[in-house]
């Protein structure tokens, strides 16, 4: 049996995997108050656990792409999803801060792998004119997962299980939140079944039509070079490749904007705009905007490629447009009306995600396929490092002078960033909104004048 448009079924599977990835990631934060109470966790304990996840995530980013390059996309994705799903389900067994930390560390080791593996899958199944849009599609799954997670896990955690004594006896105190981890973890294991059935390289798939295989093969033939037939780059070759560092710095500088909107924007609305817990549901518009930005960014650069514009030039053109929108950011904290502030925020988030899709596509454009996963991993590690630094800087901005560092990473980061932290401490969110106006323009200039468009795939 042949399936028409098989490549879109593949990206559909990647979309669902991204949804599951963010549902599993957000389960802890959505249920944090209940879990903290049951395990007697302080805010400091919670901060440490979040940092442990980020450390594991960064480590995994550096290794997971290499794994995908060595064992292939199909096996690599299987390993990553199975690992994080099992880790998430086992979180139900946590009975102390130590055990919860261990399970979240394991979750971080698995979750990072989806992104280099998914990008590798797109490079195998999509012609270059469609790759940015395909990346936008599965990335939108992450924003949807973050949006729906509370609506899935909170009802599971708050349901009265007294009518199911066997379940209460088995899971004990905290039956609801423990069951939430189990169910979300099991769903990830179920996803593995269609993945194993459907995913093969196009040349080995029995489900792809001849016309679609020809479309993919013709495109791959155009970009195949002698280097693509060589073995995977050594770590030395990867680290000496100029594109690795240009893209890493580009993401380190700009990804903190998206991290801020995920982790801090609700806090800003609560403290500075005085929204109640119930009113904070309005933050769904942020994830909706992120999803639209993901699709729009990929579609626009894809249109340019179809018109004959070189892929790298098309990505940079769209990214320049995004960078020119970001100077609107300071107005978010300056305007008086909430609706106007949210409107500007939607524009900034859409631009941020459209940028992210295209800088991700640049990796596929300039890196040989044999080492795509490895380079992607190193580049993406810059993202999490930038996110950790942003957390520390923003925390200093919104804290008074008497606030002490929280979490085990903060002491080291304070040593590294101490001059910056002293300068911004206590100045509030407005300073960060001002800084965000310049991050994407700086990132674009680094990529453009660093010569990203001149790099050969070699």
Q: Domains of the chain: which residue ranges?
A: 1-128+142-223, 235-458
Residue 412, Ramachandran bin (φ over 0: left; ψ between -120 and 50: alpha; else beta): alpha
Residues 301 and 315 sit within 8 Å (Cβ to Cβ): yes
Interatomic CA distance for residues 390 and 45, integer angstroms: 20
State the pTM of this model: 0.76
Give the pLDDT score at 131: 87
How do residues 248-304 score in pLDDT, each as one tens digit?
A: 999 999 999 998 887 788 878 888 898 875 677 787 888 889 889 988 998 999 899
Q: Kindly state the average pLDDT of the residues 357-381.
A: 86
244: pLDDT strictly greater than 90 = yes
Containing 345, the helix (H) or strand (E) segment is helix 338-366
Q: How many CB atoms lie within 10 A of CB 425?
A: 16
Q: Where residue 455 falls among pLDDT bands split at 50, 70, 90? A: confident
Tokens 């599971």 sit at which residue?
156
How do residues 131-183 score in pLDDT, each as one tens digit?
A: 888 988 898 898 899 888 888 888 888 888 888 888 878 877 888 899 999 99
- The answer for residues whose C-beta is within 8 angstroms of residue 166's C-beta and 6 or more apart is none
DSSP single-letter state for residue 233: P
How do residues 190-236 score in pLDDT, each as one tens digit?
A: 999 999 999 999 999 999 999 999 988 876 665 554 444 456 788 88
Looking at the chain, the whole-number percentage of residues with pLDDT higher than 70 is: 92
Mean pLDDT, the chain, rounded, equals 86
- The answer for residues whose C-beta is within 8 angstroms of residue 18's C-beta and 6 or more apart is 114, 118, 138, 139, 140, 141, 142, 145
Which of 358, 344, 362, 365 lies closest to 433 in space, CA to CA? 344
Interatomic CA distance for residues 296 and 96, integer angstroms: 44
Q: Which has more pLDDT, 441 or 230?
A: 441
Interatomic CA distance for residues 184 and 72, integer angstroms: 26
- The answer for residues whose C-beta is within 8 angstroms of residue 204's C-beta and 6 or more apart is none
Interatomic CA distance for residues 429 and 390, integer angstroms: 12
Q: Where residue 37 falls among pLDDT bands split at 50, 70, 90? A: confident
> Of 1.20.1250.20, 3.40.50.880, 3.90.1300.10, 3.40.50.450, which CATH number belongs to 235-458?
1.20.1250.20
Residues 184 and 20 sit within 8 Å (Cβ to Cβ): yes
Give the pLDDT score at 43: 63
Q: Which architecture does CATH list for 1-128+142-223?
A: Up-down Bundle (1.20)
Residues 265 and 289 sit within 8 Å (Cβ to Cβ): no
């Amino acid at each position: 049996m042949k399936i028409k448009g098989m490549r879109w079924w593949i990206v559909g599977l990647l979309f669902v995997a991204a949804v599951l990835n963010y549902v599993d990631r957000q389960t802890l934060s959505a249920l944090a108050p209940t879990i903290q109470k049951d395990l007697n966790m302080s805010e400091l304990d919670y901060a440490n656990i979040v940092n442990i996840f980020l450390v594991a995530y960064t480590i995994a980013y550096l290794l997971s792409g290499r794994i995908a390059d060595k064992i292939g996309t199909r096996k690599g994705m299987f390993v990553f999803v199975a690992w994080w799903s099992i880790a998430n389900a086992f979180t139900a067994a946590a009975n102390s801060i130590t055990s919860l930390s261990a399970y979240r560390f394991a979750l971080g080791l698995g979750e990072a792998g989806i992104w280099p593996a998914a990008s590798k899958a797109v490079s195998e199944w999509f012609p270059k004119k469609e790759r940015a849009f395909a990346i936008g599609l599965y990335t939108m799954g992450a924003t949807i997962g973050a949006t729906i997670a509370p609506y899935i896990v909170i009802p599971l955690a708050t349901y009265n299980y007294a009518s199911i004594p066997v379940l209460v006896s088995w899971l004990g105190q905290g039956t609801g939140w423990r069951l939430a981890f189990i169910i979300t973890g099991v769903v990830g294991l179920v996803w593995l079944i269609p993945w194993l059935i459907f995913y093969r390289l196009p040349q080995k798939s029995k489900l792809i039509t001849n016309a679609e295989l020809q479309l993919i093969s013709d495109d791959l033939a155009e970009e195949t070079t002698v280097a693509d037939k060589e073995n995977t780059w050594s770590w030395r070759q990867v680290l000496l490749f100029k594109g690795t560092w240009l893209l890493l710095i580009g993401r380190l500088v700009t990804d903190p904007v998206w991290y801020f909107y995920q982790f801090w924007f609700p806090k800003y609305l609560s403290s500075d705009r005085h929204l109640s817990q119930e009113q904070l549901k309005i933050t769904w518009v942020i994830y909706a905007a992120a999803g639209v930005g993901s699709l729009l960014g990929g579609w626009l650069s894809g249109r340019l490629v179809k018109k004959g514009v070189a892929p790298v030039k098309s990505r940079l053109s769209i990214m320049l447009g995004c960078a020119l929108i970001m100077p609107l950011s300071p107005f978010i904290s300056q305007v008086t009306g909430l609706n106007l502030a949210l409107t500007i925020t939607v524009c900034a988030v859409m631009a941020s995600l459209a940028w992210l899709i295209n800088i991700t596509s640049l990796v596929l454009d300039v890196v040989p396929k044999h080492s795509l996963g490895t380079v992607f991993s190193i580049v993406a590690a810059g993202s999490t490092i930038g996110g950790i630094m942003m957390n520390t800087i923003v925390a200093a901005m919104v804290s008074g002078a008497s606030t002490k560092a929280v979490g085990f990473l903060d002491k080291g980061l304070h040593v590294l960033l101490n001059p910056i932290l002293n300068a911004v401490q206590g100045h509030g969110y407005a300073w960060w909104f001002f800084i965000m106006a310049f991050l994407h323009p700086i990132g674009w200039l680094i990529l453009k004048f660093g010569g990203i468009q001149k790099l050969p795939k070699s």
